Amino acid sequence: MIDFRTEPGQYRHWKLAFDGPVATLALNVDEKRGLSPGYELKLNSYDLSVDIELYDAVQRLRFEHPEVRAVVLTSGRERVFSAGANIKMLAQSSHGHKVNFCKFTNETRLAIEDASDCSGQRYLCAINGTAAGGGYELALSADWITMVDDGATAVSLPELPLLAVLPGTGGLTRLVDKRHVRRDHADYLCTTEEGIRGKRAVEWKLVDEIAPSSSFRDTVRKRANELAARSDRPKDATGIALPRLERLIASDTVSYPFLHVTLDRLGRTATFMVRGPAGMPPSDAKGIHAQGPMFWPLALARALDDAILHLRFNEPEIGLWLFKSEGDAAEVSAHDALLQQESRDWLVREIVLLWKRTLKRIDVTSRSIMTLIEPGSCFAGFLVELLLAADQSFMLDGPLDGDNKPPASLRLSGLNFGPLPMGNGLARIATRFLGDPGALERAAAARDKDLPAADASALGLVTSTPDDIDWEDEVRIAVEARASFSPDALTGMEASLRMAGPETMETKIFGRLTAWQNWIFQRPNAVGDEGALKLYGTGRKPDFKRERV
């Protein structure tokens, strides 16, 4: 089983150090301690275990170190930054693991960019040795790239000529969309094994600056301090420690304090039961800081994030996720209102941003999503995002026969209209009503009101509102039908429908990931017995099928 829970004391591949407002994350991969046997992580190449630690470090820097205003990504080795994803690992991995690995790695790159854009924690990459493939893609996630000018260090994306695949974590898109590298220069880079070094790398915008070995450290320190000076993070705040998540895994359940996941392997369905808070929230930001990691929105977000990753990697045949909730909607609304009230506080900002990133994981997860709103549900405020993220939603109209719980209702809040955007830059509710501003205005006018099924349906917030006579059958038929469809076709359909609206660098990355990784990683030119990925390092040349498809 792959476990995404870790902490700095358990890191095998990264070293985290601090110097006032600047932190340094140095990659020094333990070659013998990869995720699986059968390969060595030479030349600072990486597998999922390396990225799990990086993701954890990025998360902890945001919550535990508010004083850190700039982060330097570099290598702990001389003359090598990173050779990228380990080739032997890719060659022996299942197709599903390769795609999930690329997706998680990309989400971690996006979390770095989100820290720079939204948290005031700016990233600089100090390339102190050759950066190839995924190693250079990691550098591309930073705000600024400084490369040593030693006559040997180069940046490259050699996947096409060497492996017959493509950069899997956004490298092509970041080159042209983020760094505005000319198309012909990008094409040359991606079809040249040895890469680009020195002044040409700067002229082509592949890096921002070069510095000789003698002054490289001083240059990096100067640039990091310049980035730190532009940050709005508090200089004297105290962070909160993120303890190891409490989680209990049984044969068919995964349980956290505020989340319980039940697995139906025969029906290929997972039910996420989100549990509301145990009471009303504190009155202000000081109370949030006092509760720290046990503050309900933060504890729930961490649990949901872990559960998503756990099911992605460890339960690949569970194809339908059902989201449900239980609790006091008034208590959920009170926590939601507190997040809006204290939005200027650095910790509150990080909690909301964590929800944004966790919800984005749902958007790009190749699972069908349905949300069920029943009596006793607590879908209010930011929890309504679990409804808006769903492919279909069902809300019971009226009470259940023999049940004394009040009828189901929804409550929208300000958090549903901007602070939690999708990858397309729009709120989920704005994406739902794309091209229909009147519907969006009507929904906005209904904020902070309890909406029963009829009102939620009239506003276009739910797919169907059966009564108690039809509820069980309609939900059962929808679930059984979904489970009967081709998972491949569903993945393609859902990825196409979820990201309506404007194209962004993020939607391009994930759209292409869904398309080209699911295609190229299965083509014989890459993974066949005579394919480039399988023959890499053997001295034999691949035998390519020459037709263009």
Average pLDDT over residues 196-209: 98
Of 14-28, 43-57, 86-100, least confident by mean pLDDT is: 86-100
Q: Any idea what DSSP says for residue 515?
A: I
Q: Name residue 494's amino acid.
A: E
Residues 6+ apart with CB under 8 A from 343: 349, 352, 419
Percent of the chain with pLDDT over 90: 93
Q: What is the mean pLDDT of the chain?
A: 96
184 or 516: which carries more pLDDT confidence? Answer: 184
Determine the pLDDT at residue 538. 92
Average pLDDT over residues 281-286: 97
Output the pTM of the full model. 0.97
Of 17-21, 218-222, 526-530, least confident by mean pLDDT is: 526-530
Tokens standing for residue 365: 């997860």
* 443-454 tens-digit pLDDT: 999 999 999 999
Correct CATH for 249-469 of 3.30.565.10, 1.10.10.10, 3.90.226.10, 3.30.1360.120? 3.90.226.10
Average pLDDT over residues 293-316: 98
Q: Is the pLDDT of residue 519 over 90?
A: no
* 204-255 tens-digit pLDDT: 999 999 999 999 999 999 999 999 999 999 989 999 999 999 999 999 999 9
DSSP labels, 38-81: S---GGG-B-HHHHHHHHHHHHHHHHH-TT--EEEEEESSSEEE
Determine the pLDDT at residue 90. 92
Q: Is the pLDDT of residue 85 over 80?
A: yes
Determine the pLDDT at residue 548. 87
Q: Name residue 479's amino acid.
A: V
- Whose tokens are 């059962």? That residue is 476
Q: Name residue 486's amino acid.
A: S
Domain definitions of the chain by residue range: 8-229, 249-469
Residues 6+ apart with CB under 8 A from 450: 329, 409, 410, 411
**Confidence label for 149 from pLDDT (cuts 50, 70 and 90):** very high
Q: What is the fold, at CATH topology level, of the domain defined by 8-229?
A: 2-enoyl-CoA Hydratase; Chain A, domain 1 (3.90.226)
CA distance 359 to 337: 19
- Whose tokens are 């013998």? That residue is 32
CA distance 544 to 523: 10
Determine the pLDDT at residue 400. 86
249-469 has the same fold as 8-229: yes
Determine the pLDDT at residue 401. 83
- Which strand ranges, in their side-by-side order, compose the sheet holding 253-256? 248-249, 253-256, 259-264, 269-275, 320-326, 368-373, 392-395
Determine the pLDDT at residue 390. 98
Determine the pLDDT at residue 549. 76
Determine the pLDDT at residue 512. 82
Roughly what angle, to the nearest 10 degrees, separates helices 346-363 and 48-64?
Answer: 150
DSSP labels, 440-474: HHHHHHTTTS-EEHHHHHHTT--SB---TTTHHHH
- Whose tokens are 């309900």? That residue is 296
* 424-446 tens-digit pLDDT: 999 999 999 999 999 999 999 99
CA distance 383 to 380: 5
* 464-503 tens-digit pLDDT: 999 999 999 999 999 999 989 999 999 989 999 998 999 9
CB-based contact 269:322 (threshold 8 Å): yes
Determine the pLDDT at residue 501. 95
CA distance 370 to 388: 10
In terms of Cα–Cα distance, which of 278, 272, 274, 317 is closest to 296? 278
Q: Which ranges of 342-452 does DSSP label H, i.e. alpha helix?
A: 346-363, 385-388, 428-432, 437-445
Q: How many helices (H) and strands (E) does the chain have?
A: 23, 19
In terms of Cα–Cα distance, which of 288, 296, 475, 501 is closest to 374? 475
Determine the pLDDT at residue 329. 97
Q: Is the pLDDT of residue 518 over 80?
A: no
